[in-house]
Amino acid sequence: MTIWACLCAGDILLRCEGADGSYSLPVGDEPPVALQPWNKVTTFKDLRIDNLKIDGQSQNKSFNQKSLNPEISLSVVRLDRPVVGVEGLVMMGLRASFQVLTPEEYALAGKAAELIYWDQNTRYCGCCGAPTKWMTDISKKCPECGKEWWPSVATAIIVRIKRIRQLDNLQLDNLPMDNCRKGDKSQSSNCKSSNCKISEVLLVRAKNFRTNHYGLVAGFVETGESLEDAVRREVREETGIEIANVRYFDSQAWPYPFGLMVGFTADYAGGEIHLQKEELCAGAWFTRDNLPPIPDKASIARRLIDDWISAAE
Where on the chain is the footprint of Zn ion (CB under 5 A)?
125, 127-128, 130, 142, 144-145, 147
Residue 125: CB minimum distance to Zn ion, A: 3
Closest approach, Cβ 148 to Zn ion, in A, equals 10
DSSP letters for 148-178: EE---PEEEEEEEEEEEEE--HHHHHT--GG
Question: For residues 147 and 181, which CB has a smaller minimum distance to Zn ion in the complex?
Answer: 147
By beta-carbon proximity to Zn ion, the closer residue of 128 and 154 is 128
Residue with smaller CB distance to Zn ion, 130 or 177: 130
For residues 9 and 127, which CB has a smaller minimum distance to Zn ion in the complex? 127
State the minimum distance, in angstroms, from the CB of residue 123 to Zn ion: 12
Task: Please identify, using beta-carbon distances, which residue of 150 and 248 lies nearer to Zn ion.
Answer: 150
Reference 296, options 95, 119, 131; nearest CA is 95
Q: What are phi and psi of 178, to 5 degrees?
A: -65, -20
Q: How far is the CB of 90 from Zn ion (least distance, A)?
A: 41
User: Residue 241 has what DSSP assignment?
Assistant: -
- With respect to Zn ion, which residue has the nearer C-beta, 139 or 155? 139
Q: Are 69 and 48 in contact (CB under 8 A)?
A: yes
Tell me the C-alpha distance between 298 and 64, whole Å.
23
**3-class SS letters over 81-147:** CCCCCCCCEEEEEHHHHCCCCCHHHHHHHHHHHHHHHHHHCCCECCCCCCECEEEECCEEECCCCCC
> CB 42 → Zn ion: shortest distance, Å?
22
- Other CB atoms within a 10 A radius of the CB of residue 205 amount to 19
What is the spatial distance between Cα 112 and Cα 260, in angstroms, rounded to a whole number? Answer: 15
Q: Which is nearer to Zn ion, 130 or 291 (CB)?
A: 130
Q: How far is the CB of 117 from Zn ion (least distance, A)?
A: 21
Nearest to 261 by CA among 199, 198, 217: 217
Shortest reach from residue 222's CB to Zn ion, in Å? 27
For CA atoms 261, 221, 118, 121, give the dihedral sign: positive
Distance, in Å, from the CA atom of 166 to the CA atom of 198, rounded to the nearest integer, reads 6
How far apart CA 230 and CA 224 sit, in angstroms, is 10
Query: 103 vs 143, which CB is nearer to Zn ion?
Result: 143
Min dist. Cβ of residue 78 to Zn ion (A): 23
